[in-house]
Amino acid sequence: MSLTRAWGRTTGKRGPLLVSTLGAPGAPRQAAEEPLAVLEVHGLTKTYTVGRVGHQRTVQAMTSVDLTLAPGRVLGLVGESGSGKTTFVRTVAYLERPAAGEIRVLGRALPRHPSQRRLREHRAQVQMIFQDPYTSLDPLHTVRYSVARPLRSFDVVPRRALAGAVDDLLEQVGLVPPAEFLRRYPYQLSGGQRQRVGIARALAAQPALLLADEPTSMLDVSIRLSIMNLLLDLQRSRSLSMVFVTHDLAGASYMSDTIAIMYAGHLVEMGPASEVMGSPRHPYTQLLREAAPDPDKHFGASRRFDARGDPPDLTNLPSGCPFAPRCPHVRPECRAELPQWRAVSPSQKVRCALY
Amino acid sequence: MAAAAPATSTGPATASTPLLEIFGLTVGYGWEGRPMSTVVRGVDLSVGAGEVVGIAGESGCGKTTLALAATGLLDPPGQVLSGSVRFCGRDLLALSQRELRTVHLSEISMVFQASMNVLNPVMRIRDQFLDAMKAHGVEDRDGAVARAKEMFDLVKVPRRFFEAFPHQLSGGMRQRTVIALALVLRPQLLVLDEPTTALDVVVQRSILEMLDELRNELGFGVVFITHDLSLLVEIADRITIMYAGLAVEQAPARQLYEGPRHPYSQALMRAFPPLGGERRRLEGIAGQPPDLRQLPPGCSFQPRCPRAIAGTCEVVAPPLVRFEAEHWAVCHLYDRVDDHPNVTDQGLGEDHGEKGATVG
């Protein structure tokens, strides 16, 4: 059965297409002297329909996201539960079909209804590392099988070189000696080891882009850092591009060159990690920054923290800026329409009417 | 091991006598006739009225077991092998199940990690509050309702949710409601085991702030268990670091943050990337916690310790060394403290390289 048929036409619901200053959808590729972006996303939108028949509501999971990621760079995508960050990576990996928008990998656009063959080409370039290492490996298959599978399906190495390639990958992710892990089943591995298998599996396809969806949030504190370091080492040695999804600002700034902040399915701020962390401009980024543990700053002083209300209801987003109901600096125009992107420095921009 | 707290005393908690005093508590899990694994080994801990005591460590270091044993909630196959737990001068371990039930909620309350799931999904929140209060002898129904609603105000959940079912509340609101339930009978001690781990940072912070306000207002003591040391140093007065069932270091939060002494505390402190500042490479803690059924001789942390002293650490159990009245560590490095003036001066490793902006 073709994938187009399998996925049917039920997801055709289009979300509102918002105007973007970042270049119109389908904008021409970058000038020749600039390196080709690994990932370009324009107006990416995803909606889900929930509820039983007659009581259906539309969840606006992601609204018109525009992003460009240069080769060899790490983008930290930060947001709370329900902010759409997982939806973003799953849509880019085409595990979900976008409601609207365009995905370009290495300059090549993915058609709205890709053939199975085109989809395989896409996934050879874009690989995902999942949040939960306890459920993302098939419990019935050995480590060898899980890692060899993408090597075979993407024709990465000739058949006779398969065993050597698997050993290689396991060594690269620190599962040494490989012989000790090849025959193990997921239940025989610790959480950190499983996540390493997940990383090896993603690398096996030799992707240009790695999408890491909160890869450390299920792991114990002592192993988080080693997994993050492993990802950074691999990213560097292979000049991979990576989207690192997290809710942890400190982790994002440790991993990323650029940080993008997401709120209620919208990107609200983007810039170099040091600038976004050092001088957050969007009121939501400031709220996140204020909420994160920061002993240097907060010792002894009792801070006044005000979350100003609850996380947004994605089935009933306000018109205008989604953060307006909680924003301490809200102005009438914020409720009228979504603010445009504004540059607050040569490299930092924010979607807020304050600037 | 030497005691961490001042000498035992009985009588109700005052400023000088702690609310909760734990001495040499040792807890194991195991069925009759099978080898017992000891998961808490001789831990001393004291909590004063209005004080926040933090317990931190990796998964499996015994934090939760310690909390369960210290509150009389430990179920078989867990059992207290030795040690004592005194609450307001009373021996908590000697109480019967019936007596414990009256102590729980009214004098000691617990909030656990997934505790938003402790609410009964098919009962209105109001009824769960009233049930709990009735079980503790609050007969006046109107008074109970008024008291519960007052708690809703304190934890900042709108009163209209009093009549709601748990699924109608968000995760953060459910956790607030559970805290309200835990505090409705005004206990003197609140034990929180990873109370905010499953919540988003903003929700987590607002709950912590709310807890702090409540503590100032109601004056209960808090035991706060978490693996998130960077969070704990902000909110706790004193912190105990646990490793493989042992308390390996205890210090006032600020001292621990500024100068952790035990190599494990130092490693744990470095395991959290800082929010700002220069980007530099950090190293996690190599290796894994030991199998509690086959502990290495000598120091339990020695196989993973970057500063282990050959010939000593793997042979002899380390001594408790006191640096200040409230700050001690169990480690061979400080047998003679004067020999190690720069004990916390550790390089943080190579620089992480230039950061650059490309995306956008």
Judged by CB atoms closer than 8 Å, whether chains meet at B206 and A305 is answered as: yes
Q: Both tokens of residue A239?
A: 């000049």
Separation CA B232–CA B197 (nearest Å): 12
pTM comes to 0.82
Which residues of chain A have a CB within 8 Å of the CB of B172? 310
Residue A300: what pLDDT?
A: 54
User: Does B351 contact A at CB distance below 8 Å?
Assistant: no
Which residues of chain A have a CB within 8 Å of the CB of B201? 80, 247-249, 288, 291-292
User: Does B356 contact A at CB distance below 8 Å?
Assistant: yes
Separation CA B276–CA B357 (nearest Å): 16
Residue B175: what pLDDT?
A: 87
Judged by CB atoms closer than 8 Å, whether chains meet at B58 and A310 is answered as: no
Helix, coil or strand: residue B185: coil
Q: Which of B266, B238, B290, B297 is nearest to B60 (CA)?
A: B290
What is the per-residue burial (b if ≥16 Cβ within 10 Å, else e) of B214-246?
bbeeeebbbbbbbbbbbbbbbbbbbbbbbbbbb
The minimum CA-CA distance between B200 and chain A, rounded to whole Å, is: 6
Rounded alpha-carbon distances, angstroms, from residue B235 to A111, A157, B252, B265: 51, 53, 11, 17
Q: What confidence tier does B354 reach under pLDDT thresholds 50, 70, 90?
A: very low
Separation CA A138–CA A144 (nearest Å): 12
Q: What confidence tier does A299 reach under pLDDT thresholds 50, 70, 90?
A: low
pLDDT score of A10 more than 90: no
Judged by CB atoms closer than 8 Å, whether chains meet at A299 and B254 is answered as: yes
Kindly identify which residue of chain B lies nearest to residue A297, measuring between CA atoms.
B234
Judged by CB atoms closer than 8 Å, whether chains meet at A225 and B283 is answered as: yes
pLDDT score of A162 more than 60: yes
Write the pLDDT tens digit of every residue in B72-100: 888 888 889 999 999 998 899 988 888 88
Residue B347: what pLDDT?
A: 35
Residue B12: what pLDDT?
A: 43
Write the pLDDT tens digit of every residue in A58-116: 899 999 999 999 999 999 999 988 889 999 999 999 999 999 999 999 999 999 899 99
The pLDDT mean for chain B works out to 83
Q: What confidence tier does A125 reach under pLDDT thresholds 50, 70, 90?
A: very high
Chain A to chain B Cβ contacts (< 8 Å): 146
Q: What percent of chain A has pLDDT over 90?
A: 67
Separation CA A317–CA A278 (nearest Å): 30
Residue B17: what pLDDT?
A: 74
- My answer on whether omega of the bond before B77 falls inside 30° of 0, hence cis, is yes
Which residues of chain B have a CB within 8 Å of the CB of A222? 58, 267-268, 271, 284-285
Q: Which of A189, A196, A194, A190 is nearest to A169 (CA)?
A: A196
What is the per-residue burial (b if ≥16 Cβ within 10 Å, else e) of B170-182?
eebbbbbbbbbbb
More confident residue, B286 or A116: A116
Judged by CB atoms closer than 8 Å, whether chains meet at B204 and A305 is answered as: no
The minimum CA-CA distance between B97 and chain A, rounded to whole Å, is: 34
Task: Please name the residues in contact with B152: beta carbons below 8 A apart, sequence gap of 6 or more.
Answer: B158, B159, B161, B162, B177, B180
The minimum CA-CA distance between B285 and chain A, rounded to whole Å, is: 5
Triad B203, B225, B266: Cα angle to 5°:
105
Q: What DSSP letter does each residue of A83-149 carry, written as one string?
A: SSHHHHHHHHTTSS--SEEEEEETTEEPPSS--HHHHHHHHHHEEEE-S-TTTSS-TTS-HHHHHHH
Task: Please name the residues in contact with A107: beta carbons below 8 A apart, sequence gap of 6 or more.
Answer: A29, A36, A37, A40
Which residues of chain B have a CB within 8 Å of the CB of A221? 58, 227-229, 268, 271-272
pLDDT score of A30 more than 80: no
Contact B18, B5 (CB under 8 A): yes
Judged by CB atoms closer than 8 Å, whether chains meet at B172 and A310 is answered as: yes
Write the pLDDT tens digit of every residue in B290-326: 888 888 889 999 999 989 888 889 899 999 999 988 9
Phi-psi category of residue A210: left, alpha or beta, with phi > 0 → left and psi -120 to 50 → alpha: beta
Q: Both tokens of residue A281?
A: 């401009």
Helix, coil or strand: residue B150: helix
- If you ran DSSP here, which 8-state letter would residue B280 be given? B
Separation CA B241–CA B55 (nearest Å): 6
Which residues of chain B have a CB within 8 Å of the CB of A275? 357
**A111-120, A174-183, B347-356: least confidently modelled range:** B347-356
The minimum CA-CA distance between A166 and chain B, rounded to whole Å, is: 24
Q: Both tokens of residue B69?
A: 């044993």
